[in-house]
Amino acid sequence: MRPAVVCAAVLAVTASTAGAAPAVSEPLPARMADTGGGDQLITAEAPGKDSTTGEVIWWENAGGTWSRIGSAEARFGANGLTEGRTRKQSTSTTPTGLYDLPFAFGADRAPAGTGVAYREVTEKSWWCEDNASTSYNRWVNSLPKDCAAKESEHLIGYPEQYRWALVIGFNYNKPVKKRGAGIFLHVNGQDATAGCVSVPASAMRRILQWADPDSAPYIAIGTTSGATRITRY
């Protein structure tokens, strides 16, 4: 093509696009394979599998359009994230995937306006993580005989982290032994977690006040790209 023709073509393209609005990407939930079927979703996204920090965003769907309601910096497992379906217990990794949120609990009273089922932690509150127990990956009031204390969490022993928390339904409905137990969305401790997702206390309060059981909230955990990218769940 002659130089004059090239210049004319470039000018024509420039003129035709000068007034065009910049492309706006769809909100994250709209790009996901599944959101759980409800109208509320929490996304916990890390830059990569080895990341220990990222972002939690809570979203709401109205008339087919997802809107961002709030966000907070998030912390993940000390050893990053891993595919939930093949995760192994005691690896300090956060399981990726899409999960329901069975109930909330906390060492403090539920924040005003909390609508999800909430259990207040007492001296008798434990989370059984003993693979030999029939109560594996369950809240128990007083440890059953087949659940060893050294293999479980005495919830009241973590008043900062479990000030408020939501149970993440990882390995919950049909627990697979040695896959992992006690994965929660909870308040930040001092550093990365043992596999949970954590956020500042102010964000955890807002999430509990926002979550509506009638809207069937779910949480999606994943990375920005790669095999554990959040959009594939």
Q: What domains are defined for the chain?
A: 3-232 (2.40.440.10)
pTM (two decimals):
0.90
Q: What is the 3-state secondary structure (H, E, C) of 184-205?
A: EEEECCCCCECCCEEECHHHHH
pLDDT in tens, the chain (233 residues): 444 443 444 444 444 444 544 455 899 999 999 999 999 999 999 999 999 999 999 999 999 999 999 999 999 999 999 999 999 999 999 999 999 999 999 999 999 999 999 999 999 999 999 999 999 999 999 999 999 999 999 999 999 999 999 999 999 999 999 999 999 999 999 999 999 999 999 999 999 999 999 999 999 999 999 999 999 99
Instruction: Name the 3-class secondary structure at 196.
Output: coil
CA distance 109 to 232: 36
- Say what the pLDDT of residue 32 is: 98
Chain Cα centroid distance, residue 135? 24
